[in-house]
A and B are shown apart, each in its own frame.
Chain A
């Protein structure tokens, strides 16, 4: 796996898309930090960007990379290696190169700026952690969709739909159900529904680190107990891990039976 991962990673870190993605975050980071001059505001704006963009980029790159390297995958499949090794190696290579673009792209401006004022370092850290998680999750989901769909146009369509669903439609349905069932106790339902969407979950995770976390407590004891303590943080992180582990396991499962 390490061998596959190594070369896929080498290949991708030299790709101009990865550079473009890296430069985008670099520019964004510098602009946010040095033009706004307010770290907490910069972090909130960055959060809005990361929570929407990393899933989108992860999805598109995941699908694109899979379809583009189909023939090479075939060549690799003819080598004396387990299938899971090949797919998981490719998956990790891609996710890691994207995650690294994010980490370095935003990390460098923050190093320039933030080493002196380290109070925002934890907020910023949670931002990067959430971004990295989202990258891994959405590349995995995109891979599942691509592996399951021979037809690339279909695969691309489903992947974009998946992103749209989790980024926007899910929240719309969530909101509607909260408003419709207004008369019932909703706090547990709301928390659980959040867990089922990695984008919402990461957003909450970042917000928990920011001071707005107290707002969550305003709504009731359950939120306060869950989101106001480190319990929420730990569980959110665990669920995010599950969001990586389960799709990865699915890639492994699907790849085992798949024809190329």
Chain B
């Protein structure tokens, strides 16, 4: 599905991604983990085309995506921070994104699921952070796309919505979609991820299933194995 070869990205003098190679197969949930500044977000944004890499190649379904934009019609994205034009209503924002994509959207179901019907005519600037995040999730899941990229999807969500989100993710997985997630919430990753990609200093440190990671680090759970990796490299 995604084929990344020798990807390099510098911000000024700082090398964020160093010769990174990664291939992600179609179907399943991939969690991208790593300490702060390890290049998780940069990696995801490179796939989305929001960050322009210095060198390297990214292919989706065999086609290079660098400088392209059409492929994004088949990619859903949930950004980390939900911040929308403050004077548009929720409905207008949904219409706008639907307008841009020109694709069928399952927004009504999601609106009901997250209980934001009553906010539809409210201005986005008047919504609470949690509600904004729900709108954010609706935007990310309302289209039927092959690739779904979620950047810290759990931030600011109440427990009920968290359950709905997990259900949604499971549902998409069942449809055979590829899902990329970054998250700091270890329990969430443990609960949903099929495979884990661990980034360290701009390189793939580990890629495999959760069980593989635990065996390799000889730890009982994800939290400890991550701690182990970090101690091992920085101690």
A residues with a Cβ closer than 8 A to B are 3-4, 7-8, 10-12, 14-15, 68-72, 74-83, 257-260
Contacts and interface: CB of A to CB of B under 8 A. Distances in A.
Contacts of A8: 85
A78 B100 contact: no
Interface centre among A69, A80, A82, by most chain B C-beta atoms within 10 angstroms, is A80
Contact of A259 (B50, B85, B87, B96): B50
Contacts of A258: 52
Contact of B100 (A11, A15, A69, A81): A81
Given A259-B51, A259-B52, A260-B45, 4 more contacts: A7-B85, A11-B85, A80-B69, A80-B73
**Interface residues of B, dominant DSSP:** mixed
B71 interface: yes
B87 A71 contact: no
Contact of B79 (A15, A68, A74, A82): A74
Contacts of B139: 75
A77 B49 contact: yes
Contacts of B49: 77-78
17 contacts: A7-B85, A11-B85, A11-B87, A14-B123, A15-B86, A15-B87, A71-B81, A74-B79, A75-B139, A77-B48, A77-B49, A78-B49, A79-B72, A80-B71, A80-B73, A80-B101, A259-B45
A81 B100 CA distance: 8
A77 B50 CA distance: 6
B181 to A, nearest CB: 15
B215 interface: no
B85 A72 contact: yes
Nearest to B80: A71
